[in-house]
Every structure is written in structure tokens, then in C-alpha cells.
Amino acid sequence: MKANDQTRKVWEVSRLWTAVDGVPHARMVNRHETIMVSIRTLEDPEYFAAVPVIRNEP
């Protein structure tokens, strides 16, 4: 989730790729919203915080 986000909206990484300038990026989704951020930004605790998720996958 985004750091300091009062709504506590959880974003899920749906795609990883390297842009033409060589910078790795992630597409993140939350229901019907999509954002794209660099991996460096995603790893920066000032911008995002990891949320543990338990999945029920077979």
C-alpha cells in the first residue's frame, strides 16, 4: 500500500517490465484502478509499504 495513505488501499503487482530507458517498472492494480511505478519507487518505504497477504491457491 502507499505509505501514509489514510484509505489503506492495497495495490497488487500485476506486471513487471523494463522500460525503453532501462528502468524496471511495475504495474499495480486495485480493483479498477491501475498505476505504474518504477521498482526503485516501489521499494522506497517513503512511498510504499509491503502488506503480507495469505492466498488460498491450490
More confident residue, 27 or 58: 27
pLDDT of residue 57: 65
pLDDT of residue 12: 92
pLDDT of residue 34: 96
- Contacts with 39 (C-beta within 8 Å, 6 or more apart), sequence order: 16, 23, 24, 25, 26
DSSP 3-53: TT-TT----EEEEEEE-TTS-EEEEEEETTEEEEEEHHHHH-TTTB-----
pLDDT digits 0-9 by tens, 2-57: 998 888 889 999 999 999 999 999 999 999 999 999 999 999 999 999 888 777 76
